[in-house]
Structure 1
Amino acid sequence: MSEEALVLRQDKDGIARLTLNRPAARNALSRPMIAALQAEFDRIAADPSIGVVILAGNGPAFCAGHDLKEMRSADYGASYAEDLFEACARLMQRIVSLPQPVIARVHGIATAAGAQLVASADLAIATDDARFATPGVNIGLFCSTPMVALSRNVSHKHALQMLLTGDLIDAPTALRFGLINEHVSGEQLDVAVEALAVKIASKSRHTLAVGKAAYYRQAELPLDEAYAYAKGVMVHNLQARDAREGIDAFIDKRHPTWCHG
């Protein structure tokens, strides 16, 4: 399969939909698929027409994690593994650093690096019957890199429960843990994801980019440094044309007209 076919992209009304396209392999993240997904996110980062990204999967699952058959065919080599996990880490960081918010549209299973994708996304909506796991412990390969994203989304005890047992958790449990925002019926999944994407896409893209970057930056800072940093962000943000347009529109009781700058 060509690299171009591994990830499908469809743009509409400021929303880019990326679809993992290895349905027969449960969208396992082979090295070529990681490269294809990285390339699409890099293109989107430089595309001012896109305000929101939806990340989905073709076939019966969202993503089953890394491609174990590929690992075995590479004879579990250290150089292969170094390249694979470095590329995966770079991909997850690209999702977080992307100016546009990313919504994971989850169905079926999201396991190991698939759960890592969900945790790395800014928002996630799943079907009622979706299942999540970091099952590496069951095959002797602890989910250490998925752990990074997971531990930044859920509490320590919930993260360790998933990591140490490898058990599948259902969508209500994932919601309770904080891994997803909501779960809906399969028939309502696209409606719910689209509604959320459209709502976010209606905002100023400049403001969204400022806010997303600031959220992740302040979360890593001590409280006093976080407030000092956030103050600077707001002072800078207030000088933007969209901030002034938004405030004027609110006072004048009209809808704002964004210039996305």
Structure 2
Amino acid sequence: MPAVVSAGRHGAPAPTGRSQPEVMRLIESVLLPGLVAWHQSLPAVVDERRAIELARRLVGPTGTGVRELLCEHYAGHGSLHRLFTGLVEPAARRLGDLWSSDDCTESEVTIGLCRLLSELRQLDGCGSRVAGHAGRAALVVPLPGEPHMLGAALDAESLWQAGWLPQSEYPETDDALQTLVAARHYDVLCISLSPSFRRSHRLDRLAQFISRARAVSLNPNLVVVVSGRAFHEDRSAARRVGADGSSRWASRFELLH
């Protein structure tokens, strides 16, 4: 999650003085150990049939059967990581597909994601936490104006289970988020866009924000990771916005070399 990429098509900022080897050493010493320990040998196997069914239930009038599907998948795999990567995140993308095919409205997608997050919170306490990274702080936020909070919630849970100290915030403006970044020393900044929609029109703004965040951060080696459907489907998008890596799956951070 540290920052150092050259400008791309969307005007991402140039590196801020750190060499590539320095960045990779920082990533390897600060970020990877806990995350690798947590998701090692946990492949992301997507249950497409169940993800489609979950998406349809989420946009139903009452959301009937959502909890049953989540509990059934969790019971069958015994891991929140596998629940996130195998069912929850794919279902969020299927919600976007339903909207694209005019099978639901944008409001129904937002309501469905809220239902999904609410049901996941009923599973609190099921996840185990690995030791390590005492004092390592991560600021986890959606880009201001992003109404879909699921990605930020999954990132925060993944980091917590990996032994980090994530601070989840939901700033309403870019200035408010800049103030948060400047308020204390963070090792990592995780910024999410919608897990359902691609939000391509927001990438320029995200690139500008990342550049400003590095400038105001108390940590000259701040690591920036981005997540959302845009980055799940296009790995180069993370490089274009000036991030150090992307979270294509919950806790599965891909680094930009």
Shorter-chain TM-score above 0.5: no
Q: TM-score w.r.t. structure 1 length?
A: 0.29
Q: TM-score w.r.t. structure 2 length?
A: 0.29
Comparing both chains, which one has the higher relative contact order based on Cα–Cα distances under 8 Å and sequence gaps of 6 or more?
A: 2
Larger Rg: 1
